[in-house]
Amino acid sequence: MQFLNGITLLLVYQLVGEITVRLLGLPIPGPVLGMVMLFVTLMIRGKAPDSVDQASTALLSHLSLLFVPAGVGMMAHFGRIADEWVPITLALLLSTVITMVATALIMQVTTRWFAKPLTEKEGGDE
């Protein structure tokens, strides 16, 4: 029953998110707004109920599975991918590498800049 309650709650938040996005013409997808609303709710309540925790752990622990049907969609796009495979593969590969390297370095540098007072407070382990 716990799991069922959790899933129901997630779907209710998604539904409210979808409706709000459409009513207000917001530029973000419904599930993302649903996530923000659930996050705000958890902050206000001060704890995540077991039901929501169970349902979210179940869904997120096999997140990769949920991408499989979309990945199989590749077969419907073989033609287009074959036509423009150079820009697609190179742009995708290089851009992913650049994004990962840049973000990791930026995070490392900014953490050192801004989190210094914190490490000093903890005694610092450097």
Pair 74, 25: CB distance under 8 Å: no
Mark 22-41 with x for binding to another protein (rule: CB under 8 A) and - for no binding.
-----xxxxxx-xxx-xx--
Mark 55-74 with x for binding to another protein (rule: CB under 8 A) and - for no binding.
xxx-xx-xxxxxxxxxxxxx
Residues 6+ apart with CB under 8 A from 37: 13, 16, 17
Measured from the CB of residue 68, what is the shortest distance to another protein in angstroms? 5
Measured from the CB of residue 37, what is the shortest distance to another protein in angstroms? 8
Does 5 engage in binding with another protein (CB under 8 A)? no
Q: Which of 28, 32, 34 is nearest to 14 (CA)?
A: 34
Residues 86-125 that bind another protein (CB under 8 A): 86-88, 90-108, 110-111, 113-115, 118
The CA-atom distances, in angstroms, between 83 and each of 73, 79, 89, 93 are: 17, 6, 12, 17
Question: Encoding tokens for residue 25?
Answer: 């013409």
Measured from the CB of residue 31, what is the shortest distance to another protein in angstroms? 4
Does 51 engage in binding with another protein (CB under 8 A)? no
